[in-house]
């Protein structure tokens, strides 16, 4: 089956928002063995949207629109698709009742615009919106391509895809076998290198399939297999995962679409009953903020230090000023002192430090992207590691934080 995605919204064309919904949907369709050969973005314009729908229907088996299901006048998707298919729009009773209940609960008047969100294509299969009010549609078209209409807000869109659309597409699959997939996450290796390392596995893939995706500062592999049972599919996945880990397991840090390096490190710290602190200069608190985004981190992270200025390093971390004067703030020695003193003052098992040059200008003769990360781990001798990162100021900080997390992960793994 070949699918086409039409993202609707002038704000996408203007660059005001990113088209992350289409990227997510393409991944899910690929996992189901559905090819996405075209993606289109069209503004909130009736004529241009109608042309996009006509073009897509002429070359694809499945046309999926994203956006334009809201209550305002520029939400045109359902009207345009209904006109194109020559079908009526009819109320969906469950959606209408949900909107009415909201109106009653909030005391707001029910308007024609609000009621518009409960309309659906006559004869379509409704896709429940668990996080909003606009009902989605799955229209099996006897005369051409099938149509799917999805909402634009990511919170509504993703839930509808996962809970409503994917089960329908699985039912419609010409392959009666069951599908399973696993996402592997890697840090410290580029997509091109990972693909080169796995070239023969990727070249000969049939079942399972291996799909690499480059993410910001990391790479993921989605392994998908089919079988007569989920257990059979998972066995096929486990076999290929073992081969991948044998080649690049040093860079692998975890599984899952929603996983992160920070979440893995926090879990490892909790499992090992280790506490952590940080002293940040270059990253200005970003490392600690990243830890703070992980639920349950309070069990292992009592707090830390942001010592951006040299005077703060002296006052908060008790680093002698002559150390900074002699070695410079961008140095192995200062990175070690920052980690060592943070660990001592907070009484934790682990401490990490960040000092360097975010740019754009040089500092102490060091170019932008020069980064020292210090690590004090339990009773081991504190160390510092030198890196040279590229790109802009924020990218250098982001990469530093992730690299610090990976250092900690690797240190815990040694134990």
The per-residue pLDDT for range 227-263, each reduced to its tens digit, is 888 899 999 999 999 999 999 999 999 999 889 999 9
Give the span between the Cα atoms of 59 and 390, in whole angstroms: 42
Give me 148's structure tokens: 């799917």
The pLDDT mean for the chain works out to 93
Cα separation, 212 vs 224, whole angstroms: 11
d(CA 61, CA 332): 59
Place of tokens 């308007």: 111
Residue ranges with strand state E in 151-301:
178-187, 209-215, 218-227, 252-255, 276-280
> What confidence score (pLDDT) does residue 288 get?
98
C-alpha to C-alpha distance for 91 and 95, rounded to whole angstroms: 8
Residue ranges in the chain modelled with pLDDT below 70: 109-112, 173-177
CB 43 within 8 A of CB 9: yes
Rounded Cα–Cα distance for residues 57 and 2 (Å): 11
**What pLDDT sits at residue 177?**
64
- The answer to whether the CB of 341 falls within 8 A of the CB of 323 is no
Contact at 8 Å (CB) between 138 and 125?
yes
Q: Please report how the helices 261-271 and 393-414 are oriented relative to each other, as an axis angle in degrees rounded to 10.
A: 30
The size of the chain, in residues, is 415
CA distance 67 to 167: 21
Residues 323-359, buried b or exposed e (16+ Cβ, 10 A)?
A: bbeebbbbbbbbbbbbbbbbbebbebbbbbbbbbbbb
pLDDT at 100 (0 to 100) = 80
Nearest C-alpha neighbor of 305 from the set 314, 293, 297: 314
CA atoms within 13 A on the CB side of 90: 10
Beta bridge partner(s), residue 60: none
User: Is the torsion defined by CA of 105, 106, 112, 117 positive or negative?
Assistant: negative
Determine the Cα–Cα distance for residues 295 and 291; give it in Å rounded to an integer. Answer: 9
Per-residue pLDDT, 111: 62
| DSSP sequence for 19-84 | -HHHHHHHHHHHHTT-EEEEEEEE-S-HHHHHHHHHHHHHH-SEEEEES--SSSTT--HHHHHHHH
Question: Residue 142 CB: number of other CB atoms within 10 A?
Answer: 6
């Amino acid at each position: 089956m070949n699918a086409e995605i039409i993202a609707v919204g002038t704000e996408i064309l203007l660059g005001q928002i990113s088209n992350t919904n289409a990227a997510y949907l393409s991944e899910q369709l690929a996992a189901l063995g559905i090819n996405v050969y075209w993606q289109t973005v069209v503004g909130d314009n009736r004529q241009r949207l109608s042309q996009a729908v006509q073009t897509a229907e002429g070359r694809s088996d499945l046309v999926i629109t994203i956006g334009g299901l809201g209550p305002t006048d520029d939400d045109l998707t359902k009207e345009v698709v209904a006109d194109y298919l020559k079908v009526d729009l009819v109320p969906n009773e469950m959606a209408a009742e949900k909107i009415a209940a909201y109106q009653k609960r909030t005391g707001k008047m029910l308007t024609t615009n609000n009621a518009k969100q409960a309309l659906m294509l006559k004869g379509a299969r409704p896709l429940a919106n668990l996080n909003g009010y606009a009902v989605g549609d799955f229209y099996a078209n006897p005369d051409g391509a099938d149509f799917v209409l999805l909402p634009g807000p990511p919170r509504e869109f993703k839930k509808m895809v996962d809970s409503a659309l994917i089960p329908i597409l699985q039912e419609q699959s010409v392959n009666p076998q069951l599908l399973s997939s696993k996402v592997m996450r890697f840090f410290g290796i580029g997509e091109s290198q990972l693909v080169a390392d796995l070239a023969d596995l990727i070249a000969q893939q049939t079942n399972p399939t291996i799909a690499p995706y480059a993410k910001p500062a990391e790479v993921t592999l989605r392994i998908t297999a089919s079988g007569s049972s989920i257990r059979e599919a998972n066995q096929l996945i486990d076999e290929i995962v073992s081969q991948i880990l044998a080649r690049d397991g040093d860079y692998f840090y975890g599984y899952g679409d929603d996983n992160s390096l920070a979440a893995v490190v926090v879990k490892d710290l909790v499992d090992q009953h280790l506490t952590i602190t940080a002293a940040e200069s270059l990253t200005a608190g970003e490392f600690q903020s990243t830890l703070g985004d992980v639920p349950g981190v309070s069990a292992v992270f009592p707090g830390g230090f942001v010592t951006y200025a040299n005077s703060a390093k002296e006052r908060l971390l008790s680093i002698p000023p002559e150390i900074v004067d002699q070695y410079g703030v961008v140095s192995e020695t200062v990175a070690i002192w920052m980690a060592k003193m943070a660990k001592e003052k907070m009484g934790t098992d682990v401490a990490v430090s960040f000092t360097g040059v975010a740019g754009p200008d040089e500092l102490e003769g060091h170019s932008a992207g020069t980064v020292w990360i210090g690590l004090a781990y339990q009773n081991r001798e504190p160390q510092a590691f030198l890196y040279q990162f590229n790109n802009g100021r924020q990218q250098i900080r982001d990469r530093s934080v992730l690299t610090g997390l990976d250092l900690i992960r690797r240190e815990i793994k040694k134990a």
